Structure 1
Amino acid sequence: MSASQWRPGKRVAIVGGGPGSISAALAFIQRGFDVRIFERQPECTAIGGAVLLATPVLAILRSYGLDEKNFGSYTVTYFKNNSGKERVKLPFNPECERKMGIKGWHYGVLRSSIFKKMLELVPENVIHAGHESTSYTEHEEAVELFFKNGHREMADILIGADGIRSNVSRQAFGDPRLFHTGIRLWLAWCDHIPDIPPNYGFISHSWQYQASFFPMLHEGKPGFEWWVVEPSWEGKPVPEDPKAHLTEILKDWAQPLPRFLDATDFKSQVYRWEIYNRPSLKKWSSGRVVCLGDAVHPVSPYAAYGMGMAIEDGYFLARALDGVDLRDKRAVNAGFEIYEKERVDFVNHNVEFARRLGWMFHSVPRPLAWIRDAIFDYTPLLSNFLKTGYLKKSEEETLDLAELHVA
């Protein structure tokens, strides 16, 4: 299939070639728009290890034509302390399960595997690699894009999906004022390990570390994703021997987490990130330009939702502009307002909630951390906090996606 048309009124230019970009492209193409993706790298690739995708994200991917067998299996999620004491078991919402036809809530997948499947759905001539965006100029009925290689492109709207240091977002909204969140993430994956119960994963904490694991699917084969979050700061030295460093952190941790260390190839299956955020934006559009994903809302790992949020953004944006003549700036801006109404407060809530959790678990002084842990171990506070702060709004969003329901 080819997608070489470029018709005024239907021209959607996307800068960046990550999961949010591909999601937006697929959603706009389904609605009859012409799409061109401009990626600065030689090809679109997904960096990083495994990710968790929630039910609404899976339903969106299914609507694009992704086979459900690529989702793997659902996970029953527990929160525990580092000794293995259960604090919270996240409940499933039976109404969400019934209406979406997807059991559970979290599914683990290797980022590169699921992204490869998404790319296979993109028609030919949509992705233009080796095009690094430098700036844009907005006109009354179009927006003109400029690239480092000298290429220029006229489009009706421009979508900035070019990551946390987005050129598009910077031009549209100014300095992003990125700040270090005080945490470092070690994200790893490994092949299947026998004797670990199926459909089982947990998020656990000591007084200053988080260590977690989930089952996942890679190239159709079962495995595990696991990660460690530790306190950090800008300029903190990086351990020379990551395996020794993580082994020291996990030496007294409840099983099965210590088992993952020897099952993992630290040269190819471990990724390290310093986590940065930006102050929340209340508006993601300006004129004919709109952004999604990390370009406007970089996400802490405590949301377990960065890739998923970007995929959702792309779908909601295309849905908000369905049937619009993109030459009509008023209609475009009205569509952007619908998108922002549906997404900005919801996403900002999740981003800020995740940031609070990061501070709570990694920046509280030790005496206060002991009190915190006692409260989480012996009271329902954490359970209530997660149900109202994390699950409630996501479940409401899922139930509102009526067009994706199967029942």
Structure 2
Amino acid sequence: MSPVSDNPIVVLGAGPAGMAAALALHTAGKGVVLLERYGEARPAGNILNLWPPPIKALGLMGVDVDDLGAPCHSTFRNAKGKVRADVQIPDDVVTRYGGGFIGMLRPDLYRRMLAAIPEGMLRTGQEVTGIRDRGDHVELTMKDGSTRVTPLLVGADGIDSVVRTHLWGASPKREHRLHIIGGYTFDDVADAEAGECIVAHDRRVQGSYTSIRSDGRDGYQWWTLEACDPDAAAPADLRGHALKLAQGFGDPLTTLIEHTTDDHVQRWIIRDRKPLRKWSKGRITLAGDAAHATSPYAAYGAGMSIGDGYFLGQLLARVDLADTAAVAAALDRYDEMRIPHTTMQVQQAYMLGKVFHHAPAFLRPARDAVFDSTRFLQKQIGERSPGEIVAQLDEMGAGILTPA
């Protein structure tokens, strides 16, 4: 039996990155198996937002993106409502992809992606304990002692990736010393701006909300973000703590939190790892958080993960997996396309966290004066980011089999 021709590509990890990689490779005509260590593919977190490039990618992979979330227009504001940056997505992009910014619930994205996975592709309860690149194939040792052979291994196994560690060694997590408390409600809250994503800051807290749509219901997601000691115990009352933080913003944020039930509230500590200069080696590569764990300040972690999978499928579509040199060349091109973009987003998100939440107290008034009276944030967020979104859409081409 040939290790290349008779065995599927293995994608490790069934989060957004892994499912996207599996779907894109399948669309490209490759045999794929998606291995998940847990007993089911399950979402981590509750709230989520996507920009147009991942919406385009999902649709071209066969995922149903119709009415996936709520189309939103995005602004950065101060706590009193003054607009500091208006994210100006071109009208034709908004029309084509159902919005400039899509507010949704993370479980809805998982359900849509899982529904597109062909029967038999996803295997749960599959934990890899050993990885060996044999040159013309990769050999995996499973927790039950069995072995699996694959022509290509895609490590989409999250921030604690065993594939990343195998390729590039252990690296410490980078503490942002920030945490988010977020939740959602489907109650009709007066004064909440439907169709808007409002990212607001006071001197030390971010207090934000956006429209969402889930299973035909319209609602709102919200979040508060502040500096924290990552080793300290979590607040005993998450919703109550978020409500306290939101007082500086007033309604509608406080009312949205009041209308949220405790079971719709979650907290997570923000961590990442410093970006890698290389993802791929031999017949092994990375995708998603395994490659570029990202602060929510980028609002693009899941979106970039979906993009990784899309381009991986596109670049390998016409590659003979038996040709080791061709596989290596495709993975090198994948690194060249994805690493600069994702590294920039990861580092920008990290720096935004520092600027908004770790500036010395005596500098905060000057910082806010600059944001309120100059076009600094408008240029960086309102204009530069939309330009990058349009460039990504162009870079994607017409489909996985029809690159730009």
TM-score bucket of the superposed structures, by smaller chain: over 0.9
Partner of 1:56: 53
2:387 matches 1:392: yes
Partner of 2:364: 369
2:29 matches 1:32: yes
Report if the CA contact (8 A) 1:15-1:162 is conserved.
yes
Partner of 2:202: 206
**Structure 2 gaps, min length 5:** none
Change (3 A) 1:10 1:212: same
Partner of 2:44: 47
Partner of 1:287: 282
Task: Quote the offset at 1:198 in angstroms.
Answer: 2.4
2:223 matches 1:219: no
Task: Quote the offset at 1:324 in angstroms.
Answer: 1.0
SS, match of residue 97 in structure 2: coil
Partner of 1:75: 72
Task: Quote the offset at 1:323 in angstroms.
Answer: 1.6
2:271 matches 1:276: yes
CA distance in 2, matches of 1:230, 1:194: 24
CA shift digits 1:165-193 (9 cap, x unpaired): 00111011111221211211112111142
2:234 matches 1:245: no
Report if the CA contact (8 A) 2:222-2:257 is conserved.
no
Partner of 2:17: 20
SS, match of residue 253 in structure 2: coil
2:326 matches 1:342: no
Amino acid at match of 2:176: T
SS, match of residue 235 in structure 1: coil
SS, match of residue 68 in structure 1: coil
Amino acid at match of 1:82: A
Partner of 1:130: 125
SS, match of residue 345 in structure 1: helix
SS, match of residue 136 in structure 2: coil
Partner of 1:3: none
SS, match of residue 307 in structure 2: helix
Task: Quote the offset at 1:293 in angstroms.
Answer: 0.5
Task: Quote the offset at 1:389 in angstroms.
Answer: 4.9
Report if the CA contact (8 A) 1:290-1:336 is conserved.
yes
2:105 matches 1:90: no
Change (3 A) 1:7 1:281: closer
2:341 matches 1:332: no
Compare 80-89 and 15-24 and name the one that shifted more. 80-89
Partner of 2:228: 232
Amino acid at match of 1:379: T
Identity of matched residues, %: 30
Partner of 2:184: 189
Amino acid at match of 1:169: R
2:56 matches 1:66: no
CA distance in 2, matches of 1:255, 1:79: 17
CA shift digits 1:245-291 (9 cap, x unpaired): 1121112313210011121112x211211111111111111111000
Partner of 2:255: 259
Amino acid at match of 1:260: L
Report if the CA contact (8 A) 2:189-2:256 is conserved.
no
Task: Quote the offset at 1:194 in angstroms.
Answer: 4.1
Alignment coverage as a number of residue pairs: 397
Report if the CA contact (8 A) 1:7-1:34 is conserved.
no
Change (3 A) 1:48 1:110: same
SS, match of residue 71 in structure 1: coil
CA distance in 2, matches of 1:185, 1:150: 40
Matches within 5 A, 1:92-107: 92-94=89-91, 96-97=93-94, 101-107=96-102
CA distance in 1, matches of 2:125, 2:6: 26
Q: 2:5 aligns with which of 1, 8, 25?
A: 8
Structure 1 segments of 4 or more deviating over 4 A?
none
SS, match of residue 61 in structure 1: helix
SS, match of residue 67 in structure 2: helix
Give the TM-score taking structure 2 as reference length.
Answer: 0.94
SS, match of residue 362 in structure 2: helix
CA distance in 2, matches of 1:357, 1:9: 48
SS, match of residue 153 in structure 2: strand
Partner of 1:351: 346
Report if the CA contact (8 A) 1:74-1:106 is conserved.
yes
Task: Quote the offset at 1:9 in angstroms.
Answer: 6.8
CA distance in 2, matches of 1:275, 1:88: 24
CA shift digits 1:134-192 (9 cap, x unpaired): 12111121101111122311000000000000011101111122121121111211114
Report if the CA contact (8 A) 1:169-1:291 is conserved.
yes
SS, match of residue 343 in structure 1: helix
Task: Quote the offset at 1:394 in angstroms.
Answer: 2.5
Task: Quote the offset at 1:343 in angstroms.
Answer: 0.6
Change (3 A) 1:388 1:72: closer
Change (3 A) 1:92 1:116: same
Give the TM-score taking structure 1 as reference length.
Answer: 0.93
Amino acid at match of 1:306: G
Compare 282-291 and 389-398 and name the one that shifted more. 389-398
Compare 228-237 and 201-210 and name the one that shifted more. 228-237
Matches within 5 A, 1:157-196: 157-195=152-190, 196=192
CA distance in 2, matches of 1:193, 1:170: 47
